[in-house]
A = this chain, B = another copy of it.
Amino acid sequence: MTDWQALYADRMGGVVASDIRERMKLLDASQIIHLGGGLPDPDIFPYEPLAAASQAIWSDRARARTALQYAPSEGHAPLRQWIADYMTSHGAPCAIDNILITNGSQQGLDFAAKLLLSPGDLAMVEIPSFIGALRAFDAYQPRYIGLPERSEDWRASELGGAKFCYVGPDFRNPTGTTMTLAEREALLDLAAETGMALLEDGCYEQLRYDGEDIPSLLALAIGRHGDIEKVPVLHTGTFSKTIAPSLRIGWIAGPAEAIRKLVLIKQASDLATSALNQMLLLDVVKTGLDASIQTACTVYRARRDAMLRTLEEAMPDTVRWTRPEGGLYIWGELPEGVDGTRFAERALLEHSVSIISGAAFYPARAANVDVRRNTFRLSFSMIGEEPARTGVLRLGALAHEMVSASA
């Protein structure tokens, strides 16, 4: 008898289902103020351009045939070329053979792990890390090692043996913090010394609200090696945050040799990404990506600013939080001894405010990692300033109560 219940029990980091995705099921519960999951705001999706692109495909039978037939596993060639040109114009010179189209960047993370990991291999991750990346890696049963927080502690002698290090240099999920140029250079040094690959999650890099762009690890590595073919970096990108998530279009950029292997993985995993969606996306980004990014940045910058102001107003002095230059997240830290998971549970159950406990963002069984249990993540992407303000005020009152009780 097949024991379905026993299967896979050793994977998924002991988490039954990602907090974030489970909470998405609550979206219909109209009373809840959602500061948890980092869904993009549907108000900024480019409906008219997508409708026009769609109409253009259906009214041209030759294009419609291409849109409905299997696409090449590598992706729709004109879109791959467009992304290669885009990467090139943003400091990372690429050709079409350096690009694989994926179903969002989540699939890029999964494929990179499928390429790089066998059970028991060591995977290095930033601490804390994007839950979705941890779940993608968990499936291949690695052991984890944390990338120490301070680059002064990045010593090859203590950090050797990992197959790769996963990082999100820009406004990363969950902390909202950004790696400095010096840190990026130090990480490239560490990769060179230890022989590990770098898996760079670029999913928020277009969403910068202030400050100066910092070159990606991929761009810096190309600068060092003179050529993308020699770099140790795989870079994932996505249109989920700038155009719309449900087109499910992302990409991996890297050396052509690695991309060829990843194409085999794509082929074996789901054959190809939807040609229809790739064509729709290409039509829209060709003329509209800059405008979409500008709209997103305008909307999210204002929401970030408003949330930071409300935090200042509402939170006890002993609570701290990050001030991200972009992305969708603010990371909060309660005083030592105040539990973030309890804070999140009470916020939801007593105050109808959904946030995510910081503990969810730590890998299971990482020898060198201490879980900071007094942390939580806020997202400012999905709801307007007024309900967000109400939510943060409620969180502030709860934090005052819990901090007082713990004193």
Contacts and interface: CB of A to CB of B under 8 A. Distances in A.
Contacts of A40: 69
Contact of A268 (B12, B47, B119, B195): B12
- Copies per complex of this chain: 2
A282 interface: no
Interface in A165-196: 192, 195-196
B8 A245 contact: no
B136 A269 contact: yes
B42 A69 contact: yes
Interface of A: 1-2, 4-5, 7-8, 11-12, 16-18, 21, 24-25, 39-40, 42, 45, 47, 50-51, 54-55, 58-59, 61, 64-65, 67-73, 102-104, 106-107, 110, 114-116, 118-119, 132, 135-136, 138-139, 141, 192, 195-197, 232, 240, 244-248, 254-255, 257-258, 261, 263-265, 267-277
A68 B247 contact: yes
A245 B69 contact: yes
Given A45-B65, A58-B51, A72-B25, A248 B268 contact: no
A248 B274 contact: yes
A352 to B, nearest CB: 21
A156 B318 CA distance: 66
B136 A268 contact: yes
A114 B111 CA distance: 13
B246 A71 contact: yes
